[in-house]
Structure 1
Amino acid sequence: MLAVALTAVVVLAAVTLWAGRRQTEAAEPPLPTVGVQFHGLWESYNDDERAIVLDRLVEAGAKWVRIDLSWAMLQPESGETYSEWGTGLADRVIGMAAERGLQVLATFWLTPGWANGGAGERTAPTDPEDYGAAAAWAADHFGTRVAAWEIWNEPNDPQFFAGADPGTYVSLLRASYRAIKEAEPGATVVFGGTAYNDSEWIEQAYGAGAGDHFDVMATHAYQAFSDTEPEAPDDGTKWRLTHVPAVRELMARNGDADKAIWFTEFGWSSHAQNGPDVAHYERGVTPEQQADYLARTLHLLADRYPFVTHVFWYRERDSDRGSVHIDNYGLLDRDLQPKPVWHRLQQELREQR
């Protein structure tokens, strides 16, 4: 009888230990939702390649794609007409994503010449209401095929938004938020992802009246020394991924503590260019480091910054556009074969499930 009792105690202890471990595992914080930048509207793609890439993203476990959608492509001639070719291409590509169950974040940017006197696609329109009207049309046209609309790309960077003026940007945000919500009330409107965690510029945008005109804040959380590991401590500047709490604190001070932050771009480029003569923002990492840094970022956000709910890896595939650094961020190589970072993403998301 004593032996039976002792056995029962041992079994009970083992079951308790197992249950405790299961509870610990279950208590691990969830990873952020993962999306991927998909340049599917670029002329370098054909439909066969688009299909392969989208299938690969689904296989990896991605839930979203971020597609850069050009206003100038949709409405090249005037504010009264829309291009059959441009809208047809966008319909086809967005449809391919939707058919695979991928939610679409559309980054709506690039001004047609008629709207700003030919000042260039990256210059704001003369009348923000023209942008708002086009955004409303797009939200109505694509409907639920586009779940979220990002208002411009990196508006704090003059390379992407001429002048990078917060007030000018907020005029677009105000016009488009109202218009999109009227056309498609269920759509999420995303603040244009800033280059880096630029809390100072975002503060100026709040000062210009941004607060009531977006549902989600967004940043592009790259490391300015582009081979830096994701956990590198905040140095008080926008150049670190770990500066994102400063953005969160700014939002809270402006009454937006309940809004999420999305990283609508982040990533590391896999290449060997990282010597002393290489610019700090063009340093590469090994393919293995690229994969490791992706996984570490997901867990860092889950553990320390759960208010970052969605992240979009930049980008879907490597390219050959001429910059070694920009060309090698992909989850897939140029031949659309998975890189180590793709395999690591799939592993992390499978384990999460």
Structure 2
Amino acid sequence: MAAHAPGDGAHRPTRARRRHRWAYLVAGGVALVVLAGAGAVWVHRTSGAASTLSACGDHGSVPADDAAAPSASASAPSPQVRSGTAVDSSTRASRHALRRMGGLGFTQGDQPMTLGSARLTTLFRGIAATGATIVRLDLNWAAIEPSGPDSYDLTHTLAVYRAATAHGLTVLPVLTGVPGWASSAPGGCGPAFAAFMDRASPPMLAAGVRAVEIGNEVNTTGMSPQAYTHDLLVPGARAFRAAGITAGVTVGVISTGLAPARTGGGTWSPPDFLRGVYAADGGAYLDAVGMHPYSWPDAPTADVAWNWLRGATDVRAVMVANGDADKAMWATEFGFPTNSDRGVSDAQQARYLAVGARIWGARAWAGPIVIYSYQDLDTGARDPEDNFGVRDTDGTAKPAYDVVRDLAAAAAAQGEG
């Protein structure tokens, strides 16, 4: 299959990549995201990449509403793992590398995959000008290998990655889609994903990639933590680590970025999902844990149950209880939408980002924080997903832009110290 031409419609931005206090349902391939709060219910329809992750895995372990978290004894059978090899354990070098990869980053959802070279240059030049050092970009298996292994084409994805690295940015790929054919492939998703990562990892490493985030908000897709571990985390980590060994470079694996959610009805809270990963023997395949510590629409200091900037400490407790105190937690998405349904003011966005980043950075176990997003998709639209940027659609800087520049400068100074 030919490479997807930027802007040809093969990759269209999917705007529901954040899930805050949302019930998440999948019906006929379309996600219905229901936001409840302050007396309002907002239904958001998306064919977003996160929903396609549910193509993998056995969903028999999905808990009923308000069900307790799965215990180790109640977990689905653990994947059969081989021990004692470098691909099956988190090394000190990998953990240290992910801790050392400090600083601040941006993610722009899947929009970069739709842009032509001129607009990509503008985007990445602008991100680099803030002092940010990381950009989180899609690794969309469903787009790269849409109809089977014979359709594999990484050309466009690598071109986007190289455009970012050309501006001095470190690329963090995030798995955002699973092709529908993978669940019916011989052996299921796990072997198919292993084969994909075996093929994609060497050229990604050659393009400068050193870490990968396996999944986006999988805890909201209906895919159980056991299925995630068996079908995505273990095969993906093994393949990526093996490629790193062959290339002679240190690589790191980050778990799916865990989204704000409660356990029940096909979603898992971040602590409950991570417990399930550990119960399925997935801990050895993590070098860091991904977290999306949103507090929106509230302040990052708000004492409310859905403030996952505060709730990240509960996720950390799960890591410590499972012997992973020396691993970092990355905030692979964090931000606030402005001037939209349930949005905040421009001034609040700036203040909340500053306070939230300080809270995050004060934790000894905290890794980088990745801001969603650099630029609005459609400033002033009612959909909050269009308004998370620190710049308006026309490029005008919001007050938060200067805050991010100050945060990036502080992170750089700390890294040099």
TM category (shorter chain) comes to: 0.7 to 0.9
Matches of residues 332-351 of structure 1 in structure 2 within 5 Å? 332-351=391-410
- Map Cα deviations across residues 219-278 of structure 1 (whole Å, 9 max, x no partner): 11112xx22111223x5x4543111111111101101000000011111101153xxxxx
Partner of 1:153: 216
The percent identity for this pair of structures is: 28
Counterpart among 311, 320, 332 of residue 264 in structure 1: 332
Counterpart among 119, 123, 143 of residue 205 in structure 2: 143
Partner of 1:54: 124
- Map Cα deviations across residues 188-238 of structure 1 (whole Å, 9 max, x no partner): 111001112711221122112111111110111112xx22111223x5x45
CA-based RMSD of the aligned residues comes to 2.4
Which structure has more relative contact order (CA 8 Å, sep 6+)? It is 2
Q: Which moved more, 1:35-44 or 1:108-117?
A: 35-44
TM-score (norm 2): 0.67
Contact 2:340–2:387 under 8 Å retained in 1: no
TM-score (norm 1): 0.78
Matches of residues 20-169 of structure 1 in structure 2 within 5 Å? 33-39=103-109, 42=112, 44-83=114-153, 87-117=154-184, 126-144=188-206, 145-158=208-221, 163-169=222-228
Contact 2:211–2:251 under 8 Å retained in 1: yes
Contact 2:128–2:169 under 8 Å retained in 1: yes
1-structure distance, mates of 2:308, 2:253: 25
Distance 1:213 1:54, change over 3 A: same
Distance 1:173 1:55, change over 3 A: same
Contact 2:104–2:407 under 8 Å retained in 1: no
Shift of 1:98: 0.7
| Structure 1, unaligned runs of 5 or more | 1-29, 119-124, 274-282
Equivalenced residues, count:
297
The alignment partner of 1:104 has SS state of strand
2-structure distance, mates of 1:337, 1:138: 37
Distance 1:36 1:253, change over 3 A: same
Which amino acid counterpart does residue 154 of structure 1 have in structure 2? E
Distance 1:77 1:114, change over 3 A: same
Counterpart among 258, 262, 267 of residue 194 in structure 1: 258
Which amino acid counterpart does residue 190 of structure 1 have in structure 2? I
Distance 1:93 1:323, change over 3 A: farther
Which amino acid counterpart does residue 237 of structure 2 have in structure 1? Y
Which amino acid counterpart does residue 314 of structure 1 have in structure 2? Y
Which amino acid counterpart does residue 329 of structure 1 have in structure 2? F
Larger radius of gyration: 1
Which amino acid counterpart does residue 138 of structure 2 have in structure 1? D
Report whether the alignment pairs 1:208 with 2:280. Answer: yes
Shift of 1:336: 2.8
Report whether the alignment pairs 1:241 with 2:306. Answer: no
Contact 1:271–1:324 under 8 Å retained in 2: no
Shift of 1:32: 5.8
After superposing on structure 2, the runs of 4+ consecutive aligned residues of structure 1 that deviate more than 6 Å are: none
Shift of 1:165: 0.8
Contact 1:41–1:69 under 8 Å retained in 2: no
Which amino acid counterpart does residue 351 of structure 2 have in structure 1? D
The alignment partner of 1:94 has SS state of helix
- Map Cα deviations across residues 299-322 of structure 1 (whole Å, 9 max, x no partner): 11233x231121111112111396
| Structure 2, unaligned runs of 5 or more | 1-99, 261-268
Contact 1:37–1:66 under 8 Å retained in 2: yes
2-structure distance, mates of 1:265, 1:201: 18
Contact 2:254–2:287 under 8 Å retained in 1: yes
